[in-house]
């Protein structure tokens, strides 16, 4: 019986060649628990693998071809086909989000390094009138790394508070009352427009945002990431300067789209500055 089993096994060299893996990679995958050998010679330590394991080895090769981390590869190997397919799809969606953000960061860096910071022809600048708006607000000092978490959470809290006041009646917006960068933390204010019933007095912090005219540039979900979003702010300010317009008020982001449902190339946000 042992002789039959030995005949069904491939040495590490032969197995590696047929799997298109190196013996070094096979030893690494053994240590990671991804592809342990079927037999290890107790004297020489030589590894043997069943031929039927080639399918698993080749799957690992293809997953690694996606630059998938070994921990994620292990998750894929541990579940049935449909679940594994879903894990691959989720991983690749995360890769595409990262690549979209990196693509926009490369554009931002190219503009900055070429001396054309905020070049206005990268964006279409428009103007609009914004009516007076009662808003619920939440304000704090924040660093760039805080914003992706705090802004949606604040919007959710404000939307919940607005339910007893007729609900949210306009696009949430974020006002930067001070610089937000590696050296400065704002403050930053999240605002949700409401239209409270006559006589209602919101318990949540609130105020009236004055009517104003503003210039704005529309950007995609990928372009919202810091620091590439700064190029859009710079472009709007440069447009106002070139057109002889006076910026009167703090810059802001207006989020008009469903963030969760939007793709990386979908417009989701207006970068705006109030004008005199």
Q: Kindly list the structural domains of the chain, giving each domain's residue range(s) and its CATH number in brackets, ordered by start.
A: 2-70 (1.10.1660.10), 120-275 (3.20.80.10)
Above pLDDT 90, what percent of the chain? 71
Instruction: Pick the most confident of 91-95, 130-134, 222-226.
Output: 130-134
Above pLDDT 70, what percent of the chain? 95
The pTM for the full model equals 0.69
Q: Which residues of 62-73 are buried (b: 16+ CB within 10 A; e: fewer)?
A: ebbeeebebebb
pLDDT at residue 5 is higher than 60: no
pLDDT at residue 120 is higher than 70: no
Please, which residues bridge with residue 128 across strands? 214
The three-state (H, E, C) secondary structure of 155-194, written as one string: HHHHHHHHHHHCCECCCCEEEECCCEECCEECCEEEEEEE
What is the C-alpha separation between 271 and 219, in angstroms, rounded? Answer: 7
At residue 101, the pLDDT reads 81
More confident residue, 202 or 237: 237
pLDDT at residue 196 is higher than 60: yes
What is the C-alpha separation between 55 and 25, in angstroms, rounded? Answer: 16
**27-33 contacts, C-beta under 8 A, 24 or more apart:** 29/60, 29/70, 32/70, 32/74, 33/74
For the stretch 56-75, pLDDT in tens is 999 999 999 999 999 999 99
**Angle of the 54-64 helix axis to the 12-19 helix axis, nearest 10:** 50
pLDDT at residue 51 is higher than 80: yes
> Looking at residue 247, what DSSP letter applies?
B
Nearest by Cα to 276 from 250, 257, 251, 248: 248
Whether 205 and 137 have beta carbons less than 8 Å apart is answered as: yes
């Amino acid at each position: 019986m042992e002789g039959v089993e030995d005949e069904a096994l491939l040495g590490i060299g032969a197995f590696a060649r047929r799997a298109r893996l190196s013996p070094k990679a096979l030893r690494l995958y053994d240590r990671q628990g991804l592809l342990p050998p079927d037999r290890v010679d107790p004297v020489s330590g030589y590894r043997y693998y069943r031929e039927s394991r080639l399918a698993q080895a080749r799957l690992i090769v293809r997953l690694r071809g996606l630059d998938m981390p070994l921990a994620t590869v292990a998750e894929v190997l541990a579940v049935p086909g449909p679940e594994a397919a879903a894990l691959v799809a989720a991983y690749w969606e995360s890769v595409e989000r990262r690549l979209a953000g990196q693509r926009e960061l490369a554009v931002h860096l190219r503009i900055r390094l070429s001396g054309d910071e905020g070049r206005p022809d990268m964006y279409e600048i428009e103007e609009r009138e914004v009516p007076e708006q009662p808003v619920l607000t939440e304000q704090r000092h924040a660093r760039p790394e805080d914003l992706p978490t705090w802004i949606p959470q604040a919007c959710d809290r404000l939307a919940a508070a607005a339910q007893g006041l007729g609900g949210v009646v306009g696009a949430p917006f974020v006002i930067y009352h001070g610089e937000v960068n590696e050296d400065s933390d704002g403050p930053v204010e999240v605002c949700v427009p409401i239209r409270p019933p006559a006589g209602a007095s919101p318990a949540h912090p609130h105020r009236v945002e004055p009517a104003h005219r503003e210039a704005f540039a529309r950007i995609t979900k990928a372009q919202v990431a810091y620091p590439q979003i700064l190029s859009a702010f710079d472009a709007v300010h440069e447009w106002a300067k070139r057109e002889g317009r006076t910026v009167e008020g703090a810059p802001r982001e207006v989020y008009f789209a469903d963030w969760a449902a939007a793709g990386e190339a979908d417009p989701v946000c207006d970068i705006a500055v109030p004008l005199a």
